[in-house]
Copies of this chain bind each other. A is one copy, B any other.
Amino acid sequence: MTSHQLPLLNRMSVYLHDIPLSQAQARLREALQESNLWRTLGAEEIRLDENALGRVAAEPIWAEISSPHYHASAMDGFAVRAVDTVGAQPSAPVMLYTGPQAQYVDTGDPLPEWANAVIPIENVESLDENDQITKEIRKPKSIRIRASVAPWAHVRPLGEDIVATQLVLPAGHILKPADLGAIAAAGHQTIRVARKPKVAILPTGTELVPIGSKLKAGDILEYNSLVLAAQIKQMGGEPTRYPITVDDFDLICEQVAEAAKTHDLVLLNAGSSAGAEDFSSRVVEKLGTLLVHGVAVRPGHPVILGTINLGHQTMDNVPIIGVPGYPVSAALTIDIFVEPVIAKWLGRRPLELPTETAILTRKLVSPAGDDDFVRVVVGKVGQKLLAAPLSRGAGVITSLVQADGLALIPSGTQGMEAGEEIQVRLYRSKVEIEKTILAIGSHDLTLDLIAQFLAEHDRRLASANVGSQGGLVALRRGEAHVAGSHLLDPQNGEYNISYIRQYMPDIPVKVVALVGRDQGLIVKKGNPKGIQTLKDLTNPKVQFVNRQRGAGTRVLLDYHLNLMTISSDSIAGYNQEEYTHLGVAAAVASGRADCGLGVAAAAQALDLDFIPLFQERYDLVIPKQFAEDDLLAPLFDLLVDVRFRESVSKLKGYDVSVMGNVILED
């Protein structure tokens, strides 16, 4: 949202009129009630076919007919009167004449009026042609049986499944495959279902460009409408995506007024800045009533709730929601404010995610006034269900992609400590979560390849990058199954072992080599500053970017700086930290730094130059108790998988000759 058309009065003091979440939801509900819109929107009659799947029954479905609608044979056999079979025993068979006493029936055939039981064909002997089986066995003159049958044995009586007039399904039921069969069996060939609520999605902002555009700085890809439309579709609504509207007040008003005429709900996705939603709120004020301007919820603060008046009469309103521009805020706004409305309009129950109690892996600080929704990765380590918070940035849509659930830090609390129990609403089933391998530690590009290969073998890899030492600490705390580590011991030049003994004493482990890899300096294309060795980092014109404390790459740097007696104080940017190799590469690519130490693959990925300096080994550290667990078996399989080895060897600067070597096994 650029701001050149905005009135600027009070810009410096602009603030959001945050009201609590529950109040905001109540205001929207009340406004809908006042406009007689807090109800089911209406029904439509559709053919009963597979497209009815997922639709919502608009009315109770009562049975028109019974099923079966006659007494049906449940077996292939002979229909008889039970009374005629009394006394039949192995040693004392009873003979029945076909016609008056026994009649052949296939499964599903109606019983003759005089019959009340069926004898399965395998219990019948033919009496024709010297007891031999004949071609016309179904019409022997007589049969012999050696057991009696009870009345109604092997019969599906009228109404066994459905009795005419009974309730088949209540209104509000979401139709599943078997439901369609039951509705058909009850005599229907059409069904009245709730009309899909029509939702208009209007992206506005001069800075927005359609997905797939060639980008220049300041351009923002407009993909929120895509996510919102998919959310609406998933909820059972019918989304309409409008093209991007530039920041022109009159144009937006026109679009909104137009959309309101043909939709049940308008979503105005108008940038996330205070300026931008100020703009949206003025649109709402001009065309109707502004109900809420800012909600005390994170992410999602600058939500706007209102109604557009269609002008015919006071009550002729259409709700409008000003959706924040940041993608995570936008998606959450739909879940929090739109889902309950769609549910009401469809007459179905609101979606409710299953909740589990998990242990928070790190401290979370939260503003006391806000309901704070935190995306978390959930995994089961040993017997503990853990919730590891993901990036809390409202702009980080990958945090939603990776999230297994949503934890709420309610308003009134200022955060939670690591180790505390927290309630998590799960996006994934527990089955899936129990197949998640939690990897924490040093970042390596091969982790993405591992993730892809594991996905093919019914495992999910959730990885968090906290550096090698952080990974070992996480293992000690029982917060991960595996840690990637490349910690060089300056004393003996060995990797990882002394650190493992130091950080996780008394925990038996298995350590397996993953790769050997080049570490070196990532520099701009063409290496404009002519950087060649660590010595060049002391050049005051060279801006360095470092990895965070505890990262193996940082240990490696410090080790070599020490050997070369270079003081870290002499390096500009030594304290500027990134958490991944790619983060370092991105810093160089963007010009924030001239160089950083990292792996070749990261330089290659962002089309940068790379000056190899050292080779190092990257290991997987796995507590013994998990190394023997079925969960991790596919990970060990990977290490001997030719396809995987090939994929890794294609990455520049990687050496797979050590892959799978057992370094340590307690």
Identify the A interface with B (CB < 8 A): 1-3, 8-15, 48-50, 52-53, 60, 65-71, 74-76, 106-110, 113, 116, 121-122, 124-126, 133-138, 151, 156-173, 176-182, 184-185, 187-189, 207, 211-212, 215, 217-221, 223-224, 226-234, 239, 241, 271-276, 325, 327, 331, 347, 349, 352-355, 391, 393, 395-398, 400-401, 429-432, 448-449, 451-452, 455-456, 458, 576, 580, 582-583, 585-587, 589-592, 605-606
Question: Is the Cβ of A1 less than 8 Å from the Cβ of B221?
Answer: no
Question: Is the Cβ of B401 less than 8 Å from the Cβ of A168?
Answer: yes
Question: Is the Cβ of A177 less than 8 Å from the Cβ of B331?
Answer: yes
Q: Complex formed: what's the CA distance from A76 to B8 in Å?
A: 13
Question: Is the Cβ of A587 less than 8 Å from the Cβ of B126?
Answer: no
Question: Is the Cβ of B71 less than 8 Å from the Cβ of A11?
Answer: no
Given contacts A178-B400, A226-B48, contact A448 B217 (CB under 8 A): no
Closest residue of chain B to A49 (Cβ to Cβ) is B226
Q: Complex formed: what's the CA distance from A395 to B219 in Å?
A: 61
Question: Is the Cβ of B124 less than 8 Å from the Cβ of A165?
Answer: no
Question: Is the Cβ of B230 less than 8 Å from the Cβ of A211?
Answer: no
Given contacts A188-B212, A229-B50, A354-B429, contact A122 B13 (CB under 8 A): yes
Closest residue of chain B to A230 (Cβ to Cβ) is B177
Question: Is the Cβ of A166 less than 8 Å from the Cβ of B106?
Answer: no
**This protein's copies in its complex:** 2
Question: Is the Cβ of A398 less than 8 Å from the Cβ of B1?
Answer: no
The secondary structure that dominates the A interface is: loop
Question: Is the Cβ of B76 less than 8 Å from the Cβ of A275?
Answer: yes
Residues of B within 8 A of A124 (CB): 12
Closest residue of chain B to A75 (Cβ to Cβ) is B273
Question: Is the Cβ of A50 less than 8 Å from the Cβ of B233?
Answer: yes
Q: Which of B121, B168, B211 contacts A12 (CB 8 A)?
A: B121
Q: Closest Cβ of chain B: how far from A622's Cβ, in Å?
A: 21
* 10 tightest Cβ-Cβ pairs between the two chains A and B: A189-B212, A165-B605, A184-B223, A107-B273, A177-B230, A167-B448, A178-B400, A170-B455, A159-B586, A110-B217
Question: Is the Cβ of B108 less than 8 Å from the Cβ of A3?
Answer: no
Question: Is the Cβ of A223 less than 8 Å from the Cβ of B158?
Answer: no
Q: Closest Cβ of chain B: how far from A651's Cβ, in Å?
A: 10
Question: Is the Cβ of A60 less than 8 Å from the Cβ of B107?
Answer: no
Given contacts A169-B401, A223-B181, A273-B107, contact A590 B70 (CB under 8 A): yes
Q: Which of B1, B74, B605 contacts A107 (CB 8 A)?
A: B1
Closest residue of chain B to A109 (Cβ to Cβ) is B218
